[in-house]
Structures are given as C-alpha cells and as structure tokens.
C-alpha cells in the first residue's frame, strides 16, 4: 500500500468506513454471523464508557469511578438471567470465542480430552486444535456426523462419549440448521462425569426467543454465545449456566476476569444491556420472524432450482440456509459469493459436508437475521431468492440486478424490534 500522510490516512479510513456503510445500506447483508444494532444500542456504545476500565464485578472493583457502570452491569446480569432463564450469567465477554476460551479454562485443564463437532461438519474453529481448544491444549475427538439430518449421529456420538469419557462434551456449530439432539448426548456425558458445554453463538437469539431449543433445560451445564448474531446486540459474548452452585459460578466468573479479559469494553457491555432490555420486549416476535423468513427463503431458493441442503427436514429451523453450487472442493461457493457481491448481495462461502478445503468450498451459508431486522418478510424473501437466480442461474447483468437490489432495500432502512430513540431523553456524554 502506498505511504500517505497522517491526515490522508485518517481520511482514507473515514472514507472506507462510509463506503462500507453505503455497501450494506444499499445492499442485502446475508452473512449468518452478522447483525445490525438499534439506535439506542448505538447511543450506549458511542459514549464516554469506551475508554473506561472496571475490572472485577459490580461492587468489587480495582478502580474508582465505577459506581455508574456497576449499575449498568448489575442490570445486565439480571436481564441476562431473565432473558435466557439462567441461574448464572456473566456478560463481560468480548466475543463468542472469548466466551468459549473462558468456559474451557473453567471446565478443563491442559491435556484433558474434549469431544466436539468437526469444522468439516460445521463446527466452529474455536472448537478445534487450530482455535481455542488448541490454545487450552485440549485433545479433541469429533463426533460422527449424520449428513442427511445435519447433526451429530446420536448413537455413534453417545458411544464415543461413553468410550472416551471426555472432560467436556462440547456441542453447537457454526453451520447450525437444526436443534442438536442434546438430551441424548447430555445423558451420555453426565453418565461418565463429563460437563456439557453448548456453544449457542449463532442461535442465541432464537434460543432466548423460544423458537429453537432450550439447552439449559436439555442438559447443558454451560452455554456460551455471541451477542451480535441472532441476538441483535453489539459485538460481544455471554457466559451462562444452569448450575446454581456458588463455587461453580465463582469459577466461571474467574475464568472471565482475570482469566481472559481485563478491560472488557464497557461501552459494548452497556450496549449489550440495552439490547437485552429490547430483546425482553421484542425478542420473541423477532425470533419467530427470523425462522419464518429463513424457511420461506429456503423454499424460494429451491423453487428457483438451487440445491438447498436438508430438504428432507424442511431445509432449516434456524436463521441459516445452506446451498451447494458445484462439486466438492470446487471453489463454486467462492465464485458464487463474489458474483453476488457485485450485485449488492453480501454472503460468505462455506464448507459443506464433503468439502475439505476452506478456501475453495462448494457452498454458501446464508442468514436472514439482518434482513428480518429491517422489516423484510416472506414476500421479500421470494424476491431475494429471485435475485440469486438471476445472478447465479440466469447470468443476467449484475449491474441491472444491483439496481433492483437497491430499489428493494430502499424501502427497508429502519431497524425494527426495538424502542424508538425519540422515546428517551438526550443525556450529556452520549
């Protein structure tokens, strides 16, 4: 990159930031791990808290000046317990992966064994040796996979758990179409003294909205997750538990601080608390509409002639839809994603069952949570599916399609399922 003056560098950053906002504002954001925040969450983030520290827990800080933030975090802990129906909640995590690292630190020692979904079958990179599991030096064994049902093979996985007796039985995926058969796996895990950890990063909003599954009632001892996917808050994470034992809860809290965070981005925590309050008011309707839209979108894509995975199960029960665009490891998913971006549709290539090369996969992983957030419904899902067909099947001019994409998106510019910012007074410092 060419060198430039400090002033030029600032200008280039601000220009690129504006360009990114324009790309998503005019286009269709359909990456399954992303979402947008409400005006009130944005107000909390854009506050003086962005540069402050509050190590410890409310009332037990290493810094002065934390009384107001104690109010925020205490409220957030109570809201998280209520929204997720959890006896324990820690809201300090700065991401879903940090939540996972903290949980792994609390639940296992280096050298212990763990079972998880392989990345080839949709497991998250933090569940693998290349990620958080390797960082904690845990030995991972992966579940046999039922490709037709897009979930761990129940009998084979239970047999694996009983044979290995892992310290942690980890479930949950990055490619996550259907609820995990958790009760059966948890029964096997608890039978051999294994702790069950559920990574709900992608589906946390669906879980809180009561439309997916209820891990903490189905056998999970700990649930981790992101605060910015189907849960529509700022980037960050949650650490939740069904265990009411104070010693166990203290271990979880200590795994976050001082375990994996020091300053934990107080402005994001404040935004997270606003998002929790808004989710309590609007989350059930939002979650229901996400799943409704995902199913409508999958059906519309199939009707257009696309190879949509998991047809026998109704394609999806989450926010995600998976499509295959060519032979295994062919790179067809990467090609499709690049073409769609030229038409103003932002997606990501993704490995599907059978793929072995992350950079040349055959598929796309598509999410409808952001389109739902701005008010789109099943009718718009059909129109969006037609854009995909025009780009990838009919080879139309992408510039013409991009104009149609912009026209559709122009009617959906306001975040829904939240309070109006005008309902709240302006405060100094925000």
Would you give per-residue pLDDT tens digits along the chain (430 residues)? 566 899 999 999 999 999 999 999 999 999 999 999 999 999 999 999 999 999 999 999 999 999 999 999 999 999 999 999 999 999 999 999 999 999 999 999 999 999 999 998 889 999 998 899 998 999 999 999 999 899 999 999 999 999 999 999 999 999 999 999 999 999 999 999 999 999 999 999 999 999 999 999 999 999 999 999 999 999 999 999 999 999 999 999 999 999 999 989 999 999 999 999 999 999 999 999 999 999 999 999 999 999 999 999 999 999 999 999 999 999 999 999 999 999 999 999 999 989 999 999 999 999 999 999 999 999 999 999 999 999 999 999 999 999 999 999 999 999 999 999 888 988 877 7
The terminus-to-terminus CA distance of the chain in angstroms comes to: 36
Domain membership of residue 191 (yes or no) is yes
Please name the residue that has the structure tokens 């375990």: 259
Is 179 in the same domain as 253?
A: yes
Euclidean distance between CA atoms 392 and 56, whole angstroms: 52
Closest CA to 151 of 119, 114, 176: 176
- Are 266 and 292 part of one and the same domain? no
Q: What is the pTM of this model?
A: 0.96
Question: For residues 236 and 93, is the Cβ–Cβ distance under 8 A?
Answer: yes
Q: Are residues 321 and 239 in the same domain?
A: no
The answer to whether residues 64 and 181 belong to one domain is yes
Q: Domains in the chain: how many in total?
A: 2
In a domain, residue 7? The reply is: no
- Residue 76: domain span: 41-279
Residue 183 lies in a domain: yes
Closest by CA position to 157, among listed 135, 186, 136: 186
- What does the buried/exposed string (b/e) look like for 322-340 if buried means 16 or more CB atoms within 10 Å of the residue's CB? bbbbbebbbbbbbebbebb
Decide: 277 and 91 in contact? Cβ < 8 Å. no
5 assigned to some structural domain:
no
> Residue 318 falls within a domain, yes or no?
yes
């Amino acid at each position: 990159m060419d060198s430039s003056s400090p002033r030029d560098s600032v200008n280039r950053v601000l220009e690129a930031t504006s360009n990114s906002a324009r790309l998503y504002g005019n286009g269709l954001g359909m990456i399954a791990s992303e979402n947008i925040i409400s005006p009130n969450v944005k107000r909390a983030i854009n506050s003086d808290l962005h540069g402050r520290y509050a190590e410890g827990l409310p009332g037990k800080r290493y810094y002065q000046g934390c009384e107001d933030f104690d109010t925020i975090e205490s409220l957030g802990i109570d809201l998280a317990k209520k929204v997720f129906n959890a006896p324990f909640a820690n809201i300090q995590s700065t991401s879903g992966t940090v939540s996972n690292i903290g949980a792994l630190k609390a639940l296992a020692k280096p050298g212990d064994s763990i079972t998880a979904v392989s990345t080839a079958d949709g497991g998250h990179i933090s569940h693998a040796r290349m990620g958080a599991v390797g960082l904690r030096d845990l030995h991972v064994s992966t579940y046999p996979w039922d490709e037709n049902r897009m979930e761990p093979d129940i009998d084979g996985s239970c047999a694996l758990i009983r044979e290995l007796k892992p310290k942690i039985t980890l479930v949950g995926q990055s490619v996550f179409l259907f609820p995990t058969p958790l009760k059966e796996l948890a029964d096997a895990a608890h039978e051999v003294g294994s702790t069950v950890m559920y990574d709900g990063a992608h589906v946390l909003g669906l879980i809180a909205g009561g439309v997916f599954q209820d891990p903490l009632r189905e056998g999970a001892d700990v649930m981790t997750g992101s605060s910015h996917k189907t849960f529509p808050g700022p980037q960050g994470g949650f650490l939740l538990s069904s265990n009411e034992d104070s010693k166990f809860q203290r271990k979880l809290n200590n795994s976050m601080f001082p375990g994996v965070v020091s300053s934990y981005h107080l402005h994001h925590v404040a935004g997270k608390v606003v998002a929790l309050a808004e989710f309590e008011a609007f989350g059930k309707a939002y979650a229901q509409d996400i799943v409704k839209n995902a199913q409508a979108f999958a059906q519309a894509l199939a009707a257009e002639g696309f190879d949509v995975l998991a047809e026998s199960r109704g394609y999806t029960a989450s926010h995600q839809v998976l499509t295959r665009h060519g032979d295994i490891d062919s790179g067809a998913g990467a090609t499709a994603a690049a073409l769609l971006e030229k038409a103003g549709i932002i997606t990501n290539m993704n490995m599907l069952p059978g793929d072995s090369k992350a950079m040349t996969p055959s598929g796309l992983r598509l999410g409808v949570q952001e389109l739902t957030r701005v008010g789109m419904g099943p009718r718009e899902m059909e129109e969006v599916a037609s854009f995909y067909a025009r780009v990838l099947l009919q080879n139309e001019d992408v510039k013409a399609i991009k104009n149609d994409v912009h026209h559709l998106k122009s009617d959906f510019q306001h975040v829904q399922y939240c309070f109006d910012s005008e309902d709240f007074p302006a405060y100094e410092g925000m």
